[in-house]
Structure 1
Amino acid sequence: MSEKLFEDFSPVTSKQWKQQVQYELKGADYNETLVWESPEGIKVKPFYHIDEFKGGADVTTKAAAFKICQNIFVHDADKSAKRALSTLNRGAEAIRFTIEDENTDVEKLVAALPLAHTPVYFYLNFLLIDFVKKLDDIAKNRNAAFYVQLDPVGRLAKEGNWFSNLEKDFDALNTIAIACPNLHFLCVDGSLYQNAGATIVQQIAYTLAHANEYFNRVATINKPVVLQVSVGTNYFFEIAKLRALRLLFNLISKEYDHNFDCHIITTPTRRNKTLYDYNVNMLRTTTECMSAILGGADSVANLPYDAIYHKDNEFGDRIARNQLLILKNESYFDKVNNPADGAYYIEELTQQLAEKALALFKDIEANGGFITQLIEGTIQRKIQESAAKEQELFDSGKEILLGTNKYPNKNDRMSGDLELYPFVKTNPRKTLITPIIEKRLAEKMEQERLEQEKEPA
């Protein structure tokens, strides 16, 4: 028989808590001292109480069902196939292939994989109906769960151009929707907005407006839409972000009689990752993966600690995968669904982020929709403004990245370890619109340090 605890103690009201806090402040102003405002315009209180709780957001998250996903860039089908099978044998539960070559032998790529219980994502840098049909045939014959991440709007936002043009790209999607019923074919890349410096409210609203273009232009969507999301370091806000995103997606999709829950795949952000003192990246990605899981991500693909300057390598991938294995098998993050329910702070953040994002979404739709605002440059300008404010906080030391703008190791040398160019790349080309540029906060500071390494001691 369960025993009720603490019945001998009288409940403490929020008013009593505030009075005690005010007493401890010794005359300092409560709001000025303890209440802070986030970049999203949310005033965060020092504590949240049931007395002021207005009810939780109606959102269901399935933390217990999240999959550990391994990213694999396909250069060679044979080697990538062996690597995929190897990672599955060592703890991965899903695979995401990035494919740039339309001649890749996809049958060879997945031939040895246990597809009956292994979801596979395909991130394609091209839009070819025949290629997608091959994947559909495999999915049908082997009863596989394939998620083909086709996102022409995302390509326009990131690259400045369509695959072909607006009409041809959406014609292709409409053809695939009918011809390929055995796979998920739509993806919305919301990670672009986070990595470029958008606020959380902007990230949610832009992802929704991005998805809304597909609901308006693709006649048949009979599978869940994949939302690709990057997760930042603001722990509780990021949990609330995913919850608010799922809540609003379901709200909007029902207006189109789309009754499927969205499918969220997450990756830690690159924006706060650093070249110097790179081991701190493991700490950042750990908390970011925790936010993703608790926020209800369906799959989590961790970012290796050395991803910004090293090519794919066994050690970095293993550490990234093991971080998720520890969270799942030793920290028991897979044992509880809806883990954030009843946490008044997270519930309140979810509600406020959802309200602000929905208002911004409505404003975008009232002013022509997402594609129109991309072409006009409005989305790019708003993100640049938010990114500039965050960059200013970092440059002034108010936003801290340990080992970079706080407690840097002056003896750290990285110029000899760069296998990849870790900064924004310039690629002069003719584009239809100005692309949204992803940029890390530490880039300018790191470039200055690399230059200093070249100077004689």
Structure 2
Amino acid sequence: MTTNQFEDFDPVSSKQWKQKIQFELKGEDYTNSVIWNSPEGIKVKPFYHKDTFANSLKVVTKASKFKICQNIFVFDVDKSIQRALDSLHRGAESLCFSIEDQGIAIEKLLQSLPLENVPVYFNLRFICMDFMQKIATIAHQKKGTIYYNLDPIGQLARDGNWFATPHKTNFDTLNLIATKLPNSAILSIDSSLYQNAGANMVQQIAYAVAHANEYFNRIPIINEPLVIKVAVGSNYFFEIAKLRAIRILFQLVAQEYQHNLDCHLFVTPTKRNKTVYDYNTNMLRTTTECMAAIIGGANTVANLPYDALYHKDNEFGDRMARNQLLILKNESYFDKVNNPADGSYYIESLTDQLAEKALVLFKDIESNGGFLKQLNQGVIKRKIQESADKEQALFDAGKEVLVGTNKYQNTEDKMKSNLELFPFVKLNPRKTLLTPIIEKRIAEKVEQERLASE
């Protein structure tokens, strides 16, 4: 028989807790002493109580059986097949292929994989009906689950230009593909761009939902879940709440279009807080970020190798990244509980506040012509840059800390001879329809100065 261990204690209301804290402050102002504001304007209190959650928003999801995903850039098909099979043998449960050339032998790649049990995602730098049909034919033969992840709006935001297609617009091509492949998950929203470029969390949520709303408006045939790619940072509880808030607002918007399927969250750690110096710290950062992704309800998690900034893809970095997720799944049992954040008043409060603020921003975007119009006008980029500049100022002042980079530096750490990749923003002057949104890490300036002095 279960016994209530606390029945001998009188209940304590939030008002009583606040009075006790105020007494202990010995006259100091409660609001200024123990409540702090996040960059998003979220008020974080010293305690949370159930009597303040009568009308709390609810996350409608049971996503806890997350898949461990391996990212693979496809250049040499044979090597990609070998790497994919090796990754699956070593613990990966799904695959994400990045492909830039539509001449890649996609049939050979997919025929060599056990698609029956392995969901496959694509990150394509083009949009092509024939290529999609080749994938669909093999997926049907092998009863595979494919997410095509076509995102021309994301392409425009990231590159400054639409995909090149034989049709008048990218949306014409999307509608043709949707007609030919009506039961395929063709659409994706790459909101990771906004986080990696410096958007705050309210912006990330609102932009992701407004981005999705553009597709609901323009693509009438949507019979499968939309994939939302999300990057998570190191603000642990806020990141959990961010993912939950995305689901809430997506469901609200989708219902207006009679779309009853939930979104599919494909989550990866952010690049924005990763560093070249003291690079092993990146592994600590990605561990907590993957934990936040899982607790926040990610369907699929693709970890970022600790050395991804400066090393080419390598077996050791991939293995370590997968093992972090394998430990979380098989030793920490993070996949055994549905909605593990439920009942945490702090996370519930953060979720509500982020969702409410993001909804206000979403409505403002829609009242001013929609996400695509504001993207073309440069409003989205400008707002993101304003948030990025505020975060950069905090980092430069030492108020936002990256251990080993702007605090507790190891002066003996040398990296110049260890760089296989260029880890900084690359400028590629060319003619574009709009100025693209650029991903930039907050440690770049400090690192460039240190490299120059080695």
1:168 is displaced (CA, Å) by 2.2
Give the corresponding residue for 2:380. Answer: 379
Q: How does 1:10-409 map to 2 (within 5 A)?
A: 10-164=10-164, 167-409=168-410
Give the corresponding residue for 2:3. Answer: 3
Stretches of structure 2 lacking an aligned partner (at least 5 in a row):
none
CA distance in 1, matches of 2:40, 2:400: 15
Deviation track 1:388-447 (CA, whole Å, cap 9, x = no partner) reads: 000000000000100001101111000001001000000010010010010000000000
CA distance in 2, matches of 1:167, 1:388: 37
* Secondary structure in 1 matching 2:326: helix
Stretches of structure 1 lacking an aligned partner (at least 5 in a row):
none
CA distance in 2, matches of 1:411, 1:27: 48
TM-score of the pair, normalised by structure 2? 0.98
Give the corresponding residue for 1:432. Answer: 433
CA distance in 2, matches of 1:161, 1:89: 39
1:254 is displaced (CA, Å) by 1.0
RMSD: 1.2
CA contact (8 A) 1:63 1:333 kept: no
* Secondary structure in 1 matching 2:64: helix
CA distance in 2, matches of 1:55, 1:292: 25
CA contact (8 A) 1:95 1:119 kept: yes
CA contact (8 A) 1:140 1:182 kept: no
Q: 1:246 to 1:326 in 2, by over 3 A?
A: same
CA distance in 2, matches of 1:182, 1:252: 21
The range that moved more, 58-67 or 37-46, is 58-67
Deviation track 1:137-194 (CA, whole Å, cap 9, x = no partner) reads: 1111111100011110000000000013794211110011011235311000000000
1:28 is displaced (CA, Å) by 2.1
CA distance in 1, matches of 2:364, 2:438: 23
* Secondary structure in 1 matching 2:248: helix
Identity %: 67
1:20 is displaced (CA, Å) by 2.2
Name the amino acid aligned to 1:74.
V
CA distance in 1, matches of 2:63, 2:324: 16
CA distance in 1, matches of 2:216, 2:178: 12
* Secondary structure in 2 matching 1:148: strand
- Confirm or deny that 1:410 pairs with 2:411: yes
1:63 is displaced (CA, Å) by 4.5
CA contact (8 A) 1:63 1:294 kept: no
CA distance in 1, matches of 2:84, 2:183: 22
The size of the alignment, in residue pairs, is: 453
Deviation track 1:219-246 (CA, whole Å, cap 9, x = no partner) reads: 2111110000000111011001000101
Q: 1:187 to 1:199 in 2, by over 3 A?
A: same
Deviation track 1:51-75 (CA, whole Å, cap 9, x = no partner) reads: 2223432213334310000000111
